[in-house]
Structure formats: structure tokens, C-alpha cells
Amino acid sequence: MNRDEPLRDHDRLIEAMRQQIRATPMPPARRAALLRPASAVGRVRYLGWLVAGAVALVAAMVALALALSLVGGATPPPAYAATLNPDRTVTITLREMADIPKLNAKLAALGTRIRVVPVLPGCVALVHVVSNGKVVPAPAQTLHASRTTGSIVSMTIEVKTLPGRTLVIADTRKGLYALGVVVVGRSASSIAIIAAAGEARKHATTSGALALGSGRSSRAQARRAISTTKVRSSSLPDRTCYIPRRYRRRARGGARRSQTGTINRRALGRGRLDR
Amino acid sequence: MSLVSGRDRSKEAFERLYERVAERLLAFIVRRLGDPDAAAELWAECWAVAFERWHGCRASASGEEEAWVFGIARKRLAGYYRSGAIERRALVRLGWSLPELDRADLDALERLAELDGLKRVIADALAELPTNRQRALRLRIIDGLSYREVAARMGCTEQAARATSRAACALWQR
């Protein structure tokens, strides 16, 4: 400010403040200010210590979280779930094959006739196509499980279309499909869930079930039998194939029987079957 | 005066900073508040805060020091917008006071901030808006009414009042 200029009106305010600043001793530096180094090198070191402290703090928090999770403090997501929906559908979620018995117990407790069975890649089973809730009078289709890696899915299935029959949701050689398929039989209904890695996403985009490869059941018809509403994939390191007892009775061919036996032994050996 | 003052945190350095910035900061605050009386008080509080925190100022150049003071002013302004009250804590702590401002002082502050020209520009920009948006903007921004009250005055739904006010603001800012 040029002090030679005549004093303007607002200068009275500025001058009053100037006088007060001159008359007041400078307050002592605060502790935080004293801790901050003045030189550039010191500032870098100061920042370095700050960063190191922050990293140490984060590491301590991570370690604490891990420790808590190890002692059961954290709640992992449920490995399986079965929910009976108001619209007579059941939503099934399965993340680990080992939880299939628990899931089936849950399904039984819900009063549904659905059971989940694991399917091993390479297994072959006879299935029938369902159209509009009824078995299509056509030759049984073959259920192929050919994936070696995959994911388990969560899906919603209409219960009312499964009186005393077996519903199979499976993939085909062409890829993953949720099939509106009923296997004629007297045992309780069962579901074989097979999902291939990378295809669960494709599955999720389909609002309903897809028809078996034969093309005898349209997608719309199959949708009435099976309603797949949500798919959530998770890691499935290994799958086993279980062909229900009635399949074995039907499977008279040597190769198929042999395959079934092999599969069953492997599956039973791992304790992953519910029967 | 050198461009770079280093980190001289002496009282003399603060006085130099005051000489450089005091008038500009006053105009800055008056323009943003539009009320010279309140602006003078907030300006004084800013200097009191700056005086107390001068040792903690980490600016290494004179320009940074000025920005630091303006930063304090922005925070005080934000606090004023939020609470509608001007803090006087630092002034009280230091025992500082402001001279009584008479009409001539207030007029001088308005001239310093060129408030007349600013008001003219704002009025012109407001006049360019459609009538309903003008009204919404006046009710909402100038009168400080709630959207519910704006809607009642304009005879429309609260949602429509909200949309009109926002559209007016966006248009006006352009």
C-alpha cells in the first residue's frame, strides 16, 4: 500500500487492524507447528514418517481383522441357502459341494421335494424334457456333464411342477443350460447343478431356463417349469457326479453302469453325497 | 521485497503480509458477502486467526502466504454461509476490536468492492431469466425460503419449485 496517498475511508479500518497487530505480541508456536520441520529435507523425512506410520496403522488393522476372522469374529457368507418364496418358488444358493447334504436337509425342512445332487464331469444320465409342467412324450435325453472347472449357481425353481419326479438342471456339450427336465421316477426330486466357469454370467442373463438341446421344449415352455432368477457364481474346485438309484436301474449298458459305479465310488469316497 | 520470503514467521513478516493483502482481502470478502458491515467483522476475524496461526503457516513463498490467508477467509466464509453467524473467537482471544463503522466507511467498502457494478451485473443477469425462474430464484436464493414455501408462493408442487429453482440457478450461472 502506498502510504503517501491520502487516507481513504476504508483505510481507517485497515489502519485500526494494523495498530492492533503491532501492539499484540506474537502468540507462541503451537506444538504441532513446532513438530513440523522447516527445511525441505526435513519435510520429506517428516512426510516419510507420516506415511510409515499410516502404513503401520493399516497393517495393524489388517492383522487385527485377520485375527478376528480366525477366531470367528467375522461372519463369512453362508455356503448354502434355500429360501421358499411366496410365489411357490425356491431359491437355492450353493457355494461348496461339501454343503450339499446340509442344503438338502434344509430343502427337506422347507417341505420341498427338491434335492441337490452333485454331478461329475463325464457322467451320463437319461432325462426327459418337461413342457408346460408335463413330461414330453419323447425319447429321454442324455445329461452330459463335461466341464472340468466351474461354478455353482443360485437359482429359483418352481416347486409345483415337480411331483415325485426329478428335476435336472444341467449343462450340455454346447455349454451351460438350466434345463426344464424331469426324469420319470418314483424317488424324490433332485437337482443336479452344473455350471461352468465363465458361463455363469451368460446364465445370469437368461431370465428363464433354457430347453434341452433336442429343441422339443421351447424356452418359454421351459421357463414355466424352471424359473431361474439369479445366478451367482463362486469357486467350485471339484465336482462329483451322482446318478440316482433309478438311473442305475435304467442304465443297463455296461459302459454306463461302469461309469456310474466309478463315479459313485469317487463321490462316496469324498463323503459328498446325501444318500 | 523479494518474491520468496522463505519461512520467516516473525511478526515483521506477518505485518508485511498484512500490508500486501489487507485491502484485497477486504474487497474479496465484501464482494462475497454483499454486506460491508458483516464483511468487516469477518475480515478482522480472519486476520486474528491468521495472526494466531502464523507459526503454523507452511507457505514458503509470498504468494503461498497470500493464498494461505485467502484460504482462511474462504473457510470463515463457508462457516458464515453455513451458520449465518460470524465467529469472533480469535478476536476475543486476542482482545482485538473493530472501530465503529459509520455510513461513510460502509460506502467506502462498497466502493472498494465495486458492489454497485456487481449488483448491476447480477440484476441484468437475473432480468434475462424467464419470469417464473426469476421469481423462483428470488424466493429461493434472495429470500432464502424453503422449497415448500417457494412452491406455496408459486402455486406449484414442491418438486416443480425445486426443479425450477435449480434450472434457474444453472441458467444464471452460465
Interface-testing mutation among B10, B49, B51, with chain A (most A C-beta atoms within 10 A)? B51
Mean pLDDT confidence for A10-16: 82
Question: Which pLDDT does position B18 carry in this prediction?
Answer: 93
d(CA A245, CA A117) in angstroms, rounded, equals 12
Which residue on chain A is closest to B11 by alpha carbon?
A26
The answer to whether residues B30 and B110 touch, using CB atoms and an 8 Å cutoff, is yes
Between residues A44 and A237, which one has the greater pLDDT? A44
Question: Nearest CA to B113 among A6, A4, A10, A3?
Answer: A10
Q: Is the dihedral of CA B6, A41, B71, B47 positive or negative?
A: negative
Q: How far apart, in Å, are the Cα atoms of A218 and each of A110, A133, A213, A227? A: 30, 12, 10, 14
Chain A hits for B56, CB-CB cut-off 8 Å, are: 29-30, 32-33, 36
Query: How near does any CA of chain B get to the CA of A40, in Å?
Result: 10
Mean pLDDT confidence for B7-32: 89
Mean pLDDT of chain A: 51
Helices (H) and strands (E) counted in chain B, each on its own, are 9, 0
Question: Which pLDDT does position A101 carry in this prediction?
Answer: 75
Question: Nearest CA to A114 among A160, A79, A177?
Answer: A160
Q: How far apart, in Å, are the Cα atoms of B158 and each of B20, B131, B133, B163? A: 48, 18, 14, 9
Mean pLDDT of chain B: 84
The answer to whether residues A227 and A187 touch, using CB atoms and an 8 Å cutoff, is no
Question: Which pLDDT does position B21 carry in this prediction?
Answer: 92
Put simply, the answer to whether B55 touches A28 (Cβ < 8 Å) is: yes
Does the predicted TM-score (pTM) go above 0.90? no
The closest CB to that of B105, out of A9, A20, A30, belongs to A9
pLDDT grade, residue B45 (50/70/90)?
A: very high
Query: How near does any CA of chain A get to the CA of B22, in Å?
Result: 7
Chain B hits for A14, CB-CB cut-off 8 Å, are: 22-23, 26
Tell me the per-residue pLDDT of B105-140, one tens digit each, with 9 for 90 and over: 888 888 887 777 777 777 787 888 888 888 888 888
The closest CB to that of B56, out of A20, A21, A30, belongs to A30
Query: How near does any CA of chain B get to the CA of A48, in Å?
Result: 17
Lowest mean pLDDT of A45-49, B59-63, B157-161, name the range.
Answer: A45-49
pLDDT grade, residue A214 (50/70/90)?
A: very low
Q: How far apart, in Å, are the Cα atoms of A240 and each of A96, A116, A119, A123, A152? A: 12, 12, 5, 9, 12
Mean pLDDT confidence for A28-48: 64
Question: Which pLDDT does position A184 carry in this prediction?
Answer: 35
What one-character-per-residue DSSP string does B135-162 give? Answer: HHHIIIIIS---HHHHHHHHTS-HHHHH
Tell me the per-residue pLDDT of A236-275, one tens digit each, with 9 for 90 and over: 222 333 333 333 333 333 333 323 332 333 333 333 333 2
- Grid coordinates standing for A251? 442304465
Question: Which pLDDT does position A108 carry in this prediction?
Answer: 76
Q: Is the dihedral of CA A38, A44, A50, A52 positive or negative?
A: negative
d(CA B92, CA B123) in angstroms, rounded, equals 38
d(CA A58, CA B7) in angstroms, rounded, equals 33
Query: How near does any CA of chain B get to the CA of A20, in Å?
Result: 7
The answer to whether residues B74 and B29 touch, using CB atoms and an 8 Å cutoff, is no
Put simply, the answer to whether B22 touches A9 (Cβ < 8 Å) is: no
Share of chain A above pLDDT 70, in %: 22
pLDDT at B14 over 90: yes
pLDDT at B15 over 70: yes
Question: Which pLDDT does position A78 carry in this prediction?
Answer: 66
- Tell me, yes or no, if B23 comes closer than 8 A to chain A by beta carbon: yes
A160 by Cβ neighbours in 10 Å (0-12 / 13-18 / 19+) ranks as exposed
d(CA B46, CA B40) in angstroms, rounded, equals 10
Question: Which pLDDT does position A54 carry in this prediction?
Answer: 85
Which residue on chain A is closest to B100 by alpha carbon?
A13
**CB-side exposure of B151: number of CA atoms within 13 Å?**
11
Question: Nearest CA to A122 among A13, A255, A247, A233?
Answer: A255
Question: Nearest CA to A194 among A148, A134, A256?
Answer: A148
Chain B hits for A25, CB-CB cut-off 8 Å, are: 11
Mean pLDDT confidence for A68-91: 65
The closest CB to that of A21, out of B18, B56, B58, belongs to B18
- Ranges A39-53, A77-91, A94-108, B46-60, most confident: B46-60
pLDDT at B4 over 60: no
pLDDT at A136 over 50: yes
pLDDT at B100 over 70: yes
